[in-house]
A and B are shown apart, each in its own frame.
Chain A
């Protein structure tokens, strides 16, 4: 229990560092850069208490917010997907799966995991960019930013997950 928590913390820290030091500094044509933090929530295992999942989401978002100067935005978006993640995982996970299933390509099957991950990521991005652009009238700009960031994040996460999968298996 403690070891798995520590492992998850290290994983979260790694993603946060990469996010803060690399992707927060990128401004592709002034539009949105990839956001990696949702992966921390996406990969929370099955069987974790829902309150704990929510705390993971909020704390990750809180740290990401402080470093990116987006106070409250990431924490709100990540808390939301942390709320959706457990039931969605139950729905998409294979019926005969392990009780402590760790979501990944190998444990859930490629298409299943991709669907699960892409949907959570999309929800995250919708909330993130909606909050960021509160009372924003440049709707098209926000939509472009969101789409650019979403596709970049998706590509990156698939890449990371692919690498992670190969290392594990």
Chain B
């Protein structure tokens, strides 16, 4: 009998090994369901607090550069605003084509009542990664600040990601550098739209699929959000066309996009709260 027990205990480490590996595997696959897993991520209280201290120190060190960048972005945005306002004026004077009627409310939203439909919640990134296949970031605002899942996150240079889970004081954001990310986008000035996806590898390269072959595209064309998903308002910068390739089946173009936002190098972002999203969503589910 004692011999038997000795034998068992001699091999107990196999059981421990298997148990721990199964546990790891459970954590690994559980994590794929982003919504339910916020406690096992960087957004849990302890990890978020440590990252917040660190971000505080780092952002203090980087303040001058950050400020300069913000000022520059502000100027650029003001100029763009101005140009857009001019365009809107000319657009509202010209009769709209029948086909464009669908996008009318969004256009109005941009021009007249931007503040009513979308509000911004400013935030700081406290944890970030770009080298994984599924990159996530953590920001220092949460449900107490009005952040909810599925809200869009932008920086001064363009789209950053979409909120996937929230705790009271923090939010976990699925970066556009995530294999699950898919952002509805279009080519600026055209009605060609598609989905922006990231395929891993270089953090500044993403792809836009299913662009019809009859579309006139050239390198350098600007890719922006389409506004179809209600997560982002239309017209937010995503990047520029860097390469025009054939899709796998050869039926459409696949565009390689040079992203405008260097996710490895941002600190300040804003969460976009679309006040009419709930309304629109309830319409869609009816």
Asked whether B111 is an interface residue with its Cβ less than 8 Å from the other chain, the reply is: no
Given A70-B132, A75-B27, A132-B133, A138–B201 Cβ distance below 8 Å? yes
B129 in contact with A71 (CB, 8 Å):
no
Q: Report the count of interface residues on B (CB-CB < 8 A).
A: 41
Complex: A50 Cα to B204 Cα, angstroms: 44
B130 in contact with A54 (CB, 8 Å):
no
B200 in contact with A72 (CB, 8 Å):
no
A145: B residues at CB distance < 8 A: 131
* Contact partner, A133, options B16, B31, B133, Cβ 8 Å: B133
Complex: A142 Cα to B84 Cα, angstroms: 43
Stretch at the interface among A6-14, A30-38, A89-97: A30-38
Complex: A120 Cα to B116 Cα, angstroms: 58
Stretch at the interface among B17-25, B89-97, B187-195, B234-242: B17-25
Asked whether A65 is an interface residue with its Cβ less than 8 Å from the other chain, the reply is: yes
Q: Taking CB as reference atom, which chain A residue is nearest B199?
A: A138
Stretch at the interface among A19-27, A39-47, A104-112: A19-27
Residue among B46, B51, B200, B202 with max Cβ neighbours from chain A (10 Å): B200
Complex: A138 Cα to B29 Cα, angstroms: 20
B131 in contact with A76 (CB, 8 Å):
no
A103: B residues at CB distance < 8 A: none
Chain A residues touching B, range: 35 or more
A133: B residues at CB distance < 8 A: 133, 200
Count A-B contacts at CB 8 Å: 108
B24 in contact with A66 (CB, 8 Å):
no
* Contact partner, B201, options A21, A51, A141, Cβ 8 Å: A141
Complex: A50 Cα to B18 Cα, angstroms: 13
Determine chain A's interface SS by DSSP, over half rule: helix
Asked whether B203 is an interface residue with its Cβ less than 8 Å from the other chain, the reply is: yes
Asked whether B26 is an interface residue with its Cβ less than 8 Å from the other chain, the reply is: yes
Q: Taking CB as reference atom, which chain A residue is nearest B26?
A: A72
Measured CB to CB, the closest approach of chain A to B4, in angstroms, equals 19
A131 in contact with B28 (CB, 8 Å):
yes
B133 in contact with A136 (CB, 8 Å):
yes
Stretch at the interface among B36-44, B65-73, B148-156, B249-257: B36-44
Scan residues 123-169 of chain A and give those whose CB is less than 8 A from a CB of chain B: 131-134, 136-138, 141, 145
B199: A residues at CB distance < 8 A: 137-138
B28 in contact with A76 (CB, 8 Å):
yes
B114: A residues at CB distance < 8 A: none
Given A32-B131, A138-B201, A71–B31 Cβ distance below 8 Å? yes
B54 in contact with A21 (CB, 8 Å):
yes
B12 in contact with A61 (CB, 8 Å):
no
A73: B residues at CB distance < 8 A: 24, 28
A50 in contact with B13 (CB, 8 Å):
yes
B17 in contact with A79 (CB, 8 Å):
yes
Complex: A49 Cα to B11 Cα, angstroms: 11
A72 in contact with B31 (CB, 8 Å):
yes
Asked whether A116 is an interface residue with its Cβ less than 8 Å from the other chain, the reply is: no
Complex: A72 Cα to B23 Cα, angstroms: 8
Asked whether A55 is an interface residue with its Cβ less than 8 Å from the other chain, the reply is: yes
Complex: A21 Cα to B264 Cα, angstroms: 15
A138: B residues at CB distance < 8 A: 199-201
Given A136-B200, A138-B201, A71–B132 Cβ distance below 8 Å? no
A69 in contact with B127 (CB, 8 Å):
yes
A67-B47, A71-B31 known; 13 new pairs, CB 8 Å cut-off, are: A25-B54, A30-B130, A30-B131, A30-B201, A30-B204, A50-B13, A51-B16, A54-B13, A58-B23, A66-B41, A70-B132, A73-B28, A79-B21
**A-B pairs with lowest CB-CB distance, top 6:** A72-B28, A72-B27, A50-B13, A76-B24, A71-B31, A75-B24
